[in-house]
Amino acid sequence: MIEPNLPGLSVDKQCALLSISRSSFYYDPKVETEMNLDLMRLIDKQFLETPFYGVRQMTWHLRNNDHLVNEKRIRRLMRRMGLMPIYQKPNTSKAAKGHKIYPYLLRGLRVTRPNQVWAADITYLPMRKGFVYLVAIMDWHTRKVLAWRISNTLEAGFCVDPRTQAYVARRIASGNSKLFAASNATSRAKSLALS
C-alpha cells in the first residue's frame, strides 16, 4: 500500500492519506525466539495432560524439568497461546432465579434394548494448529456410535446433522422424541439450524 520511494509523495503523506501513523509503517513485529517456541510446545503438551495447571503450577513443573523460567514469562506465553486453567468456580451448583430445572427422565429406567436411549456429546480435539469439534451420538444399550461429525465451528447444523443421520441409519421416524431425554434441546438446535 505504501511505496517508500514514490516521487512527489513522501511516506509521511502516504500514511496521512491512509490514516495510519508513520511508526506503524516502520513497525516490524517481533517473532518468538526458538527457546520460547520450545517452551510453548512443552506448555501445550503439559496443559493437555493437566488442564488445571495455572501459571504457578506450570512454572513449577517446567523448573522441575530443568528449565530456567519465571512466572512472568509463563504467564505471557500462556496468555499468547490462549490457555486458561480449568478450576472450580464458586457456587457452580446454585441455579439462577427463574431458571427452569429440567427433570432427569432416565432415572430408574432400565435400558434393555437397542434404540431405547441415545446419548449425544460434543467435545473438542486438539490439533497441531488449533482444534476441531467432535459430536457423537451413541446407543446406550449397544454402546455403538450411531453417527458422528467433525467441524472447526460449533454451529447448530453441525449438531443436528448427525442426529438426522442416526435416525436414517436406524430407520426411526424423526418425530420420535422418546429417544432423547432432552427433546427440547434437539428441537431448539433444529430451530437454530433453520434460522
Per-residue pLDDT of the chain (195 residues; tens, 9 = 90+): 777 878 888 888 888 888 888 888 888 888 888 999 999 999 999 999 999 999 999 999 999 999 999 999 999 999 999 999 987 777 767 777 888 888 888 888 898 998 888 999 988 888 877 788 899 999 999 999 999 999 888 888 888 888 888 888 777 655 554 544 444 455 555 554 544
pLDDT on residue 2:
78
Q: Return the H-helix or E-strand segment holding 50.
A: none
User: Per the structure block, which three cell numbers stand in for 81?
Assistant: 497461546
d(CA 36, CA 33): 5
CB atoms within 10 A of CB 39: 19
pLDDT on residue 187:
53
pLDDT on residue 69:
94
pLDDT on residue 191:
55
Cβ burial of 118 (10 Å; 0-12, 13-18, 19+) is: buried
Residue 22 Rama label (left phi>0; alpha psi -120 to 50; beta) = alpha
Question: How many residues does the structure list for the chain?
Answer: 195
d(CA 90, CA 83): 20
Helix 71-81 and helix 55-64, axial crossing angle in degrees, nearest 10: 120
**Cα 177 to the chain's mean position, in Å?**
28
Please name the residue that has the C-alpha cell 428441537: 187
